[in-house]
């Protein structure tokens, strides 16, 4: 009989004992960027199939064997629309975003480790008229103002996870750092094939090509993935703790983002022709079908206090405003301009199921 080598048997205690940092989720979009930013540290970064966070005994073994004192948690199940529509995917999100995160946090606390949790979502605040955002680190969450019913199922699982992390470290919050981010953007080289999909700004361009009007009334912020990685590096180096908002400065909307990109790509005349969609009408249409919206109408993160705190330990640290952040992603290999050109090739239109240019 062939021995089952999955999970426990592939975990290297020797590698754990010789590592400063355990990075969980290094194959993912954000985790890949973090691993590059932590170059110079001795890191153990097992695959997610090797270190299954839904198995408490395996997590206990891994964290108990770690020679260093820091666990960086960058795992999340993020199929937002699928979670809303599919009960099996919703259960998977509960297992990963809540129960798995809880396993890691509780093991870290028991073993005396520090933890950086990169999983806080802007979706955790409902974005109601009473609490429209952009939100500071200390602003109330949906469950704290009796607005949980306004969250979609994905946001619900993220809120459960963040709350579990905070609860696990309430005996010593100085060992916990939590990063909140909103609509992560940017090209990350080396991302595992399972996590290679368009990031938010690319999705807006795809939707534009599909003729879908971008929402004009949905307030949000965007986050450069490179900023998440930089903030993790600083927290690890300086042993910082608390809650950090990582986002470009200034709240915007999907319409303003799309308009700005099309102006850069095609000029003012084309940008002026973009029609504005209504998130309120979209939500009403969903309700007629017996479904709820997965997106907050109003939200976003205010990152000024996080910027001040990080600039105190690295004086040149600063977040870009959202237009400059888009500009950072516009040029170069894999940039938005190159992606836009790809969307106008037969291969690009086939890949993203876009109308033919000849239609």
- Kindly list the domain boundaries of the chain, sorted by start residue: 8-197+224-251+299-321
Q: What mean pLDDT comes out for the span 82-91?
A: 92
Residue 92, both tokens: 């998977």
What's the pLDDT at 1? 30
Q: Which of the 8 DSSP states describes residue 98?
A: I
Q: Which of the 8 DSSP states describes residue 294?
A: S
pLDDT at residue 2 greater than cutoff 70: no
Residue 189, both tokens: 């080289």
246 CB contacts (<8 Å, ≥6 apart)? 179, 180, 181, 223, 227, 228, 231, 301, 303, 306, 319
pLDDT at residue 4 greater than cutoff 50: no
pLDDT at residue 8 greater than cutoff 50: no
Record the pTM.
0.93
Summarize pLDDT for 230-276 with one digit per residue, the tens: 999 999 999 999 999 999 999 999 999 999 999 999 999 999 999 99
Distance between CA atoms of residues 358 and 34, nearest Å: 42
Nearest alpha-carbon partner for 298 in 288, 320, 316, 283: 283
Residue 127, both tokens: 């974005």
DSSP 3-state assignment of 279? helix
pLDDT at residue 18 greater than cutoff 70: yes
Residue 9, both tokens: 């048997």
pLDDT at residue 343 greater than cutoff 60: yes
Residues 199, 4: contact at Cβ < 8 Å?
no
pLDDT at residue 220 greater than cutoff 80: yes
Distance between CA atoms of residues 216 and 180, nearest Å: 24
pLDDT at residue 129 greater than cutoff 80: no
CATH architecture of structural domain 8-197+224-251+299-321: 3-Layer(aba) Sandwich (3.40)
CA angle (29, 34, 40) in 5-degree steps: 145
What's the pLDDT at 31? 94
pLDDT band per the 50, 70, 90 thresholds, residue 219: very high
262 CB contacts (<8 Å, ≥6 apart)? 208, 270, 271, 274
Long-range contacts of 277-285 (CB under 8 A, 24+ apart): 277/212, 277/213, 277/214, 277/215, 277/216, 278/215, 278/216, 278/217, 279/215, 279/217, 279/218, 280/217, 282/215
pLDDT band per the 50, 70, 90 thresholds, residue 162: very high
Q: Which of the 8 DSSP states describes residue 183?
A: S
Residues 71, 118: contact at Cβ < 8 Å?
no
pLDDT at residue 153 greater than cutoff 70: yes
Nearest alpha-carbon partner for 180 in 211, 143, 135: 135
What's the pLDDT at 294? 73
Residue 312, both tokens: 């105190």
User: What count of other Cβ atoms lies within 10 Å of the Cβ of residue 353?
Assistant: 8
Residues 23, 43: contact at Cβ < 8 Å?
yes
Summarize pLDDT for 282-306 with one digit per residue, the tens: 888 888 887 777 777 889 999 999 9
What's the pLDDT at 358? 66
Residues 102, 168: contact at Cβ < 8 Å?
yes
Q: What's the mean per-residue pLDDT of the chain?
A: 92
């Amino acid at each position: 009989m062939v021995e089952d080598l999955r999970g426990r048997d592939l975990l290297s205690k020797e590698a754990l004992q010789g590592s400063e940092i355990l990075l969980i989720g290094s194959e993912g979009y954000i985790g890949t960027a973090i691993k590059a930013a932590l170059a110079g540290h001795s890191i153990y970064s097992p695959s997610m199939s090797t270190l299954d966070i839904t198995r408490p005994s395996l997590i206990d073994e891994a964290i108990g064997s770690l020679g260093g004192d820091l666990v960086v948690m960058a795992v999340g199940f993020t199929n937002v629309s699928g979670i809303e529509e599919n009960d099996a995917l919703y259960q998977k999100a509960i297992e990963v975003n809540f129960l798995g995160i809880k396993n890691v946090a509780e093991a870290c606390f028991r073993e005396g480790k520090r933890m950086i949790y990169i999983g806080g979502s802007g979706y955790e605040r409902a974005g109601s008229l009473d609490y429209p955002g952009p939100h500071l680190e200390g602003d109330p969450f949906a469950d704290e103002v009796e607005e949980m019913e306004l969250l979609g199922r994905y946001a619900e699982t993220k809120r459960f996870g963040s709350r579990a992390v905070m609860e696990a470290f309430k005996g010593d919050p100085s060992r916990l750092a939590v990063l909140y981010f909103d609509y992560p953007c940017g090209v990350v080289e080396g991302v595992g094939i399972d996590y290679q999909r368009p990031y938010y700004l690319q999705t807006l361009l795809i939707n534009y090509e599909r003729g879908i009007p971008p929402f004009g009334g949905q307030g949000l912020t965007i986050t450069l993935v490179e900023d998440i990685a930089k903030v993790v590096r600083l927290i690890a180096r300086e042993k910082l703790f608390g809650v950090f908002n990582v986002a470009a400065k200034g709240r915007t909307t999907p319409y303003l983002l799309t308009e700005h990109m099309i102006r850069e790509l095609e000029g003012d005349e084309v940008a002026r022709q973009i029609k504005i969609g209504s998130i309120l009408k979209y939500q009403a249409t969903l309700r007629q079908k017996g479904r709820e919206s997965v997106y907050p109408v109003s939200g976003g993160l205010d990152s000024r206090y996080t910027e001040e705190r990080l600039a105190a330990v690295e004086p040149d640290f600063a977040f870009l405003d959202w237009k400059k952040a888009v500009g950072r992603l516009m040029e170069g290999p894999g940039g938005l301009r190159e992606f836009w050109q790809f969307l106008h090739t037969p291969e690009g239109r086939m890949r993203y199921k876009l109308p033919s240019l000849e239609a």
